[in-house]
Structure 1
Amino acid sequence: MADVQGAREEAEVEVVVAHRERATLRVGEVFLKIDADQARTDVEVEAMAMAPVPTPRVLWRKPPVLALAALPGTALGRLGEPSTASAAAWAAAGAAARMLHDAPSPPWAGRSLDQVASRLDGECEWLLANGVLPTDLVTRNRRVAEAALRWWTPVFTHGDLQVAHVFIDGDEVTGVIDWSEAGPGDALFDLAILTLGHQERLSDVVAGYGADVDLDVIRGWWSLRSLEAIRWLIEHGFDPFAPGCEVDVLRSRL
């Protein structure tokens, strides 16, 4: 009976994340990523092969499913929750970002400045037209976001370097997951996404990154990212109004 019970426990399926675009399931030490857009999966597989930092091992791929081995360790943190990781672990995440940014950039195109600005304008219009946020909150953060809308030298960026996508064991980075948005982009965008909702950790990340960064640009990306993400989050069943999440990030700019 104990063996049967153990087998049942091993066979349990955990839904990690699921929405209309994609889903990720965990079965034991295997993650199954299901994505109808195979172009995103193509990017993820190629980016992981190119990245100079630890990434999940590809076990097999049978569209629309990509099977990945679990990484050791735990996530550096979660948006909306205090991070218990050490300052050294956050610095290690900054160092990993620097290693990525110093590597040869992927051959495919990234988002252009014009595309970023156009998307931002469209999302701000939607937020105001639908009364999702107060006008002064949108207007103030749109001004803060201007700092990010400047020319940048494209580097190899993760594109969605959320704190939950960086895994650590103690003070060491054991890997980075979810590479489907990787491509040439602004290095400071990655640093901003990593510290979104964890502003108090920015100095640790910058120390590990080991280069001068424009903090106003990072603050601009915090506002820009939060403004442009809210509609998508709402439409896909997430709550940007949860404590510590995107709307609170915007409010902190007032």
Structure 2
Amino acid sequence: MDEVNVVVAHSERVTLRVGDVFLKVDADQARIDAEVEAMGLAPVPTPEILWRKPPVLALAALAGTTLGRLGGPSAGSPEAWAAAGAAIRKLHDAPLPPRLGRARRSIAALAAELDEECEWLVTNGILPADLVTRNRQIAEGALRPWTPAFTHGDLQIAHVFTDGDEVTGIIDWSEAGQGDALYDLATFTLGHEEHLADVIAGYGTDVDLGVIQAWWSLRSLLGVRWLTEHGFDPSAPGCEVDVLRARM
């Protein structure tokens, strides 16, 4: 061991890699509690918990590599993406966890938050009004009743590890809980629409593509301000702003 790598860092939490150990430091103990609980319930591979001493959670590194990241290419094969789809379906078919997940907010609450963020984007000149309006219209497709499933809640492709065509683990479970299964699928394929068919093939059942597209718009509209305020760039190539532009 000769260095400490910063995996992600912002005002809410920091993740460090030290050798084969990930150290997660979180100011909100409830998020750590939710992560530990969800990993214990999830029927898919998760990192081994080495120890926890609030506010730090130590996890063993997973074998393999992530499928990619938002804004970057994916080196994963179609079979690897399909394997991820199968793992996601296994999670969604599991008994419901006791917690309500991030995407389990009421339709009214989501609509109110969406209106607020769209107004902020236009009023502050962050995005063109026609781009926001078009994506706001598409996002309405996600604002409908759904059957709760066991969801990860933040299923970015950077959170899924594969070795060859096998899923070796899924990380970052602090947003897990009861939620909309299609939100997970949309988050996983955000910015990588070319792999959606592979994921659905592995998932093994028909899904409403319109709702997935609606979640792409909704998640991106809601994410721009948070990302900007936490030192990330949603306008980087392939990221949230490009996702919104693709809907035009």
Q: Secondary structure at the match of 1:79?
A: coil
Kindly provide the CA deviation profile for residues 112-156 of structure 1, in whole angstroms up to 9, marking residues without a partner as x. Answer: 222222221111111112110000000000001011111000100
Greater CA drift, 238-247 or 120-129: 120-129
Deviation at 1:108, TM superposition (A): 1.7
Say yes or no: does 1:229 pair with 2:223. Answer: yes
Equivalent residue for 1:112? 106
Alignment partner for residue 15 of structure 2, among 21, 24, 27?
A: 24
Choose from 55, 61, 80 the match for 1:64: 55
Q: Cα RMSD over matched residues?
A: 0.7
Q: Which residue of 1 aligns with 2:32?
A: 41
How far apart, CA to CA, are the structure 1 residues paired with 2:235 and 2:47?
31
Q: For residue 128 of structure 1, what is the amino acid of its counterpart?
A: V
1:125-204 aligned at under 5 Å gives the runs 125-204=119-198
Q: TM-score, normalised by structure 1?
A: 0.95
* Total equivalences in the alignment: 245
Give 1:109 shift.
2.3
Counterparts of 1:38 and 1:107 in 2: how far apart (Å)? 17
Q: Which amino acid aligns with 2:198?
A: D
Please list the CA deviations of residues 36-91 of structure 1 after superposition, one character each: whole Å capped at 9, or x if unmatched.
10011110000000000000011111111000000000001111111111000000
User: What TM-score, normalized to structure 2?
Assistant: 0.97
Structure 2: state its 5+ residue gaps: none
Q: Structure 2 counterpart of 1:80, which letter? A: G
**2:110 and 2:221 mapped to 1: Cα distance?**
12
Partner of 2:93: 102
Match for 2:94: what amino acid?
Answer: A
**Separation in 2 of the partners of 1:72 and 1:112?**
37
Q: Runs of 5+ in structure 1 lacking a partner?
A: 1-9
Q: How many percent identity over aligned positions?
A: 74
Task: Please tell me the residue identity of whatever aligns with 2:174.
Answer: S
**What SS does structure 1 have at the residue aligned with 2:24?**
strand
Other-structure match for 1:6? none
Structure 2 counterpart SS, 1:222: helix
Give the distance between the partners of 2:109 and 2:163, measured in 1 at CA: 37
Corresponding residue for residue 212 of structure 1: 206
1:79 alignment partner, one of 70, 75, 82? 70
Q: Using the alignment, how far apart are the partners of 1:177 and 1:116 within structure 2?
A: 25
